[in-house]
Amino acid sequence: MNLQHLSDVQRRAVTTVDGPVLVLAGAGSGKTSVLTNRVAYLINEMNVSPYNILAITFTNKAANEMKERIAALVDYDISRMAVSTFHSMCARFLRHDAELLGYMNNFTIYDSDDSTALIKKIMGEYDHGLGNLTPRNVKNLISTVKNSGGHADPESVIKEISEHFSEELVRIYRAYNDALKHENAMDFDDLLLNMVRVLQENREAREYYTDRFQYILVDEYQDTNSVQYELVRILAEKHKNLFVVGDDDQSIYAWRGADVRNIFNFEKDFENAQVIKLEQNYRSHQQILDAANAVIRMADFRKEKNPWSARKDGPKPKRYTAYNEYAEGEYIAREIAALVRQGRQYKDMAVLYRTHTQARVLEEKMRMYGVPYRVYGGLSFYARKEIKDIVAYLTLLENPLADTAFLRIVNTPKRGIGAATLTKLAEFAALQGLSLLEAAENADAFMKGGRSKFAPILDVMHDLAKQAEGMTVGEIVELVFERTGYHAMLILEDEPTTEAKIENVQELINSAHVYDKQAEEPSLEEYLSTVSLITDMDTMDEEGGVTLMTLHGSKGLEYDTVFMAGMEENLFPSRRSVEEGKLDEERRLCYVGMTRAKELLYLTSSNTRNTYGGGAAPNSPSRFLRDIPPQAIEDLSAGSGKRTVQYTEQPVKPRVNFFKAKAEFTPKAKENVGQFRVGGTVSHGKFGKGTILAIDGQGDQRVARIAFADSERKLFLSFAPLTILD
C-alpha cells in the first residue's frame, strides 16, 4: 500500500497497529487522512477483516464520509464494517441484546421532546419543591447525571452538580427511569448506559463484542464523556488495539458532557500506550500559528505540543479596536469589500463570534455595504421567528391596516382564536373592504359575541397604544415584549433555545435604543422602515456569500480569511466562564477560531458595547489579545480614536396614536347613516366609486348593495369606509 503521500509521522500513526495509541492531532494536521489510511492499511496489509474493525466518530455525516473514503482505498466489501457514532452503534447492538436488561428488542427511542414531555407528566404528579426548575431543566440535569456515569448513585451526583438538590428531584429521576422501562423506551443517554450495562453484566455478550472488535478507532476523543470512555475501555480490553485521535487544545464541548481528562489520562489508563503527535499544520501559515500558539500555551492544563507550518511566509494576524460594535461591524464589512476588490472571494471568508446576538449588528453592516452572506447553523437575525413576531406587533401598532402582521400575532401567544373564526373574519373583512383589525372591532356584525372572541388581541393592541404615548422606540419595543405576554410565553415554552430567543429579542431592544440615539427624528414608522430594508433578503447568498457563525460552529471548518469579532473581556472569554473557572475551555475556543484561517486572520473588538438594560458599557480587550506578543500581530487601530462615531441623545418625536379610539379607523359615515339613498353615488377607500342599488335592514344593521366599476358588493353602512358623493 502506497503511503508516500503521508508525512513520516503520519505514516507512523498509520502503521503502528499493535497496542493502545493516542494520536494528538493538532488543527489542520490531516487526522482524517490518517484514520482512513490506517483502516485501509489494516485491511490491505494486515489482512484484518472489516468485520473485526470498529470505527467511531461523532456525527453521522462524518461516519458516512469515512466509510466512503475507506471504500475507495480497499478492494474488499466493507458493508459489514462498523463505522458509526456511539449512539448509532449502541442502538444497533441493543436491538439484539436489550432483552438481557429486561427490555423487548423493539424498544422505542425517546428524543429530547419525548423525554421532556414524560418528565413534565411525572413532575405534575409530585408535590415537589424544585423552585423554578422546569421540565427542560430537569431533563438536562438527568442527562448530566447519566453522561457522568452517575446513574447508579444519582443522589451523590445531583448534590454535586445542582444547587437545587432535593429528595424530590432524586425521586423524579428514579420515577422517570421507571416510566421509560415501563414503556419499553430508552432515551439517548440510555443507549450508551444500557450498552455498558450489557457488557458489565452479561459475560457472554462481553466475550462476543470483545472477541469481534480486534481493532478499535475513535475520532475526536477529546469530546468523549465518562460513559463513552467506559464503553471503549471494555470493548478494547481483550485485544488492546485501541487507536484514538484527538486534540485537547480543541476540547470545547464540556457543556455537552465532554471530559477532556480522557485524553490527559490515556497513558495512565492504558498500559504501554504510545503517543504520536501530529504537529505539522497543513492549513495555516506560521504567522497565524505563532499567534494561536501564544494563546493556547497559557492554558493551565494541556499536553505539550508545538503546531508548526512549512509555510513560513504570510501576513501577521491583524488587530482592530473600534469605538463600539457598530463601528466594528462597519470595519469588517468594509474590509471584506476591499479584499474582494483585490481578488479574494466572499465564499472563502468567515466572521466568527462568541454569541448569536452579535450577528445582528454584523448583518446590518453587511447589508449596508452590499456584502452577500449566509448565517451558518442558524437563521439570519431578522429571519428568526421571535424577531419577526415582535416586529409584527410593532407594525400593527403603527399601521392597523397591516393584515399580514395581524395574522402573524393574533394567536401568539395563544388566545383561543380558532382557524374557523379567523376564516369568517377574513371573509367579512374582504366583503366589507376592511382590514382584519377593523373587522375584528366589528365582529358582532357577522358572529354572535364576535367582538368578545377577539377581545384578547384587541385589548392588547389598545393597551399598547395607550402606554406607548410619548415613549421612545426602544421603550416601545420593550413594552411590546412584556405587555403582549411574549416574554412569559418564551419562558413557559421551556425549550433548549428559550434563553437564546430571549437574548435575541433583548438584542432587538438594544438596536431600537441605539436607533433612538442615532436618528435625527426617531419614530416607530422610520424604525420599521429601517428594519424592512434590513430584512430584504436580496443580499443573502446561500452559496457564494461570507459565512457568519459562532466559534463553536466553526470547529472542523477552514477559510482563506477569518474575522473574529468581539474580542473583549466578559464577552470572550465570557463572564460566566471566568466566574465558573472554565477559562481553559474559552481559551481552547479562541485557539479553534484562530486556526480556521489559512491566509488572513483579523481579531476585532470595541471599546464600548450596548447591553440589554445597561446602555453602552465600556469593555477592555480580551486577555487572549494580550497573550499575543506585539511582534506577532499587526495593530491597525492605533490612533483610530479620531475616526470613531459619537452618538448624542436626540429629542423624541411625538407619536400618532392610531388606537386612541375605535373611531380612529371607523369611517365617519357611521354618524350619517340616514343620508345614504338608493341611486346615490359613494366612494369606497378600496373599491373606488360606486352607485347604491338597494338598501335593506334597520339602524346599524342597514346593508347597501353597491355597484362598483369591477364588482358588486353588499356593505354595512354603519362602518364601511364610504364617503357620500351625491
Residues that are catalytic: 31-32, 219-220, 250, 596
What is the rounded (10 degree) CA torsion for 381, 382, 385, 391?
A: 140
CA dihedral 33, 35, 39, 41 (to 10 degrees): 60
Is the Cα dihedral 430, 434, 440, 443 positive or negative? Answer: negative
Which burial class, exposed, middle or buried, applies to 415 when counting CB atoms under 10 A from its CB (0-12, 13-18, 19+)? middle
> 414 Cβ partners below 8 Å, 6+ apart?
none
Contact between residue 215 and residue 243 where contact means Cβ atoms under 8 Å apart: yes
Q: What DSSP line would sit under 602-649, residue for residue?
A: EEEEESEEEETTTEEEE-PBPHHHHHS-GGGSEE--TTGGGGPPP---
Distance, in Å, from the CA atom of 204 to the CA atom of 199, rounded to the nearest integer, reads 9
CA of 123: how far to CAs of 74, 129, 137, 172, 713, in Å? 54, 10, 12, 7, 57
Distance CA 417, CA 450 (A): 11
Say what the alpha-carbon torsion angle 362, 367, 368, 370 is, to the nearest 10 degrees.
Answer: 120
Nearest in space to 593 (alpha carbons), one of 317, 269, 183, 280: 317
The C-alpha cell 504570510 sits at 314
Please state whether beta strands 373-375 and 349-353 pair in parallel, antiparallel, or not at all (unpaired).
unpaired
Pairing type for strands 318-322 and 688-696 reads unpaired
Of 457, 512, 465, 466, nearest to 486 by C-alpha is 457
Find out whether the peptide bond into 651 is cis, omega within 30 degrees of 0. no
d(CA 369, CA 353): 20
Listed residue (27, 8, 588) closest to 283, CA to CA: 27
The whole-angstrom separation of Cα 388 and Cα 261 is: 43
In 542-626, which ranges are E strands? 546-550, 559-564, 597-606, 608-611, 615-618
* Dihedral pair phi/psi, residue 545, rounded to 5°: -95, 170
C-alpha angle 306/308/312, rounded to 5°?
145
* 3-state SS assignment for residue 65: helix
DSSP symbols for 203-249? HHHHHHHHHH-SEEEESSGGG--HHHHHHHHHHTTTT--EEEEE-GG
Cα dihedral 491, 494, 495, 497 sign: positive
